[in-house]
Structure 1
Amino acid sequence: MLDIVLSREIKINPTSSQLTTQDILGAWKARWGINRMNYKVEPGLYRLGNPDSNAPVLVTANYKMTFDALRKELTNFNAWILVLDTKGVNVWCAAGKGTFGTTELLNRLAVVQLDNVVSHKTLILPQLGASGVCAHDIQKFSGFKVVYGPVRAKDIKEFIQSGMKATDEMRTVTFSAYDRLVLTPIELVSTFRISLMIFGVLFLLNLIGVGPFGAVDFYAYVGAVIIGSVLTPVLLPWIPGRAFAWKGWFLGFIWVIVNFLMGWSSSSEYSVLKALGYLLILPPVSAYLAMNFTGSSTYTSFSGVLKEMKIAIPAMIISIALGAILILVNSFI
């Protein structure tokens, strides 16, 4: 990407509303946790199209997926995009962490000398960044007025063209089944390392004669992981209860019962003792993974998550420990 320099000190980076194959591949990789923590663009001022001094200024984060989500909605549109250094974190999370905040915005305005680029004094910030920015301090120290745009990038053009007036729909945060589904790959990938450790332990136990742990055990565990990481987030609003841990445990419990009815009860390798062991182990596995999704959800609050963890984690540990004991005892009977 070539840089355009308006003066010796003002650096403006060109960008386009068209995403390349590399952009699409990069987003897919980030969804699966590949290079996720380094998927970012350089903070600074970008020009999209051919903006003049009257063109709107849109403020966003330097997480590349966020930056791409904004620019791809601005086809045939002229605008300035001011990218803050959020350490590669999206707007919503960065606002909570403080990196999409008042200090960074003021510093970035000074660095790019925006008042020498545009003739107006208006900044359009994403609504989900409002918690991190003190609008009156921005105006007091920089002279720029903050206007909060819509929740979704797809509405930004309509918002600007309507005189920066947002409809109720533009202000509403939705979290549809699709929105939840696209977040599950990173949740699933995060289980790989611990799952490999568990499989390694089971393999060693088989070698020393404790077991056997076979294919049925494998798919029972994998099913519990998929339920906690994927199925629970997708079905979130329709599962009874409020706590994420409970929702995951509930589906995990159903999974164990279904497995017992479909095969364990008629298999010579499985006793009631082993079934009880899995009843104590697998639902907490699903519960723990479902609880991890609280960090990706708009349904929770920080205090609520802390309260849930305080109750759920000790219960999970005790349940899994008791289940493991039952399964080991069953191996020696």
Structure 2
Amino acid sequence: MERLSLSNAAFEGDNNAYLFADGSAVTLIDTGDWMATTREQLETALSQHGLGLADIDRILLTHWHHDHCGLAGEIQAESGADVYVHAADAALVEGDEAAWNAMDDRYRQYFEKWGMPEDKQAALRERLTDGETTVETPTVTTFEDGETFSVTDSDLEVVHTSGHAAGLCMFEAAIDGERQVFAGDALLPVYTPNVGGADIRVDRPLEKYLRALQGIVDADYDRAWPGHRTPIDDPAGRAQYIIEHHEERSWRVLNALDRRGSCDTWTVSADLFGELEDIHILHGPGEAYAHLEHLAREGTVVREGTEYRLADGVADALTELEGERWPLAY
């Protein structure tokens, strides 16, 4: 297996694609985005292993975000490669017009529900369509949790980890006598993957992501190969850190409601993250909304229309637990 590093201007850092070249089917996990510079980098990296795009037989996608699947259509057009993705993300990867229109409608509904100001909505729509171009999209074959793909001397088993994206999946494998996992954006070494804004189709995104993280803790992998940046040598420890990060963020959400009283998602987001620009205009309130809805289901927060307030008695509990994490159920 070879890790191919591909540039990415986004805050997560360089993307990774993973190459399995020695099996019966030359396989690539993720492709990088659709930019011409990324294609050049991928071609250069493949050439160092005596391969070109035309030699790729199979592409396994971790999820639908363009920085992970952007070149899948071009590679398929050149090589005839089979492209696989979880069923929940298939329509978006294939560029299905109805699926993307439904996503756009959902964005508009959520921007209003969150209380996002008009100028921020306009700036975000401009960001989401910036550099929009015609991208060659692939025809995909879907997979589900538990399916396996043979590569080199091992099998890759699909582990569905919804939260950051509806169809986000990892691929678990036994490599060099170790339990390893290709984690996509389920586990990143520096940033905590956004929940709530990164895929607004996901119902109960924080609950699902916390469950996925606990699964990583329980699996106790020897190594994780993330979708961005460098390998993670203690996946369980990193997953536990992110669980605790979300518990701490829930405390901050409750604290914001305690200080501000009843308020909407955008106000809570501003309290957590301050002034937002670029893609963070989406990710900030999305994350706040995911936490607010999760806490509402737990009964510690009450939603009234588009505003949230602390449930009766929670303010006293906050005082008693000051300095501790807020324990999240999932």
- Greater RCO between the two (CA within 8 Å, min separation 6)? 2
Q: Same fold (TM over 0.5)?
A: no
User: Normalized per residue, which structure has more helix?
Assistant: 1
TM-score (structure 1 length as normaliser): 0.28
Larger radius of gyration: 1
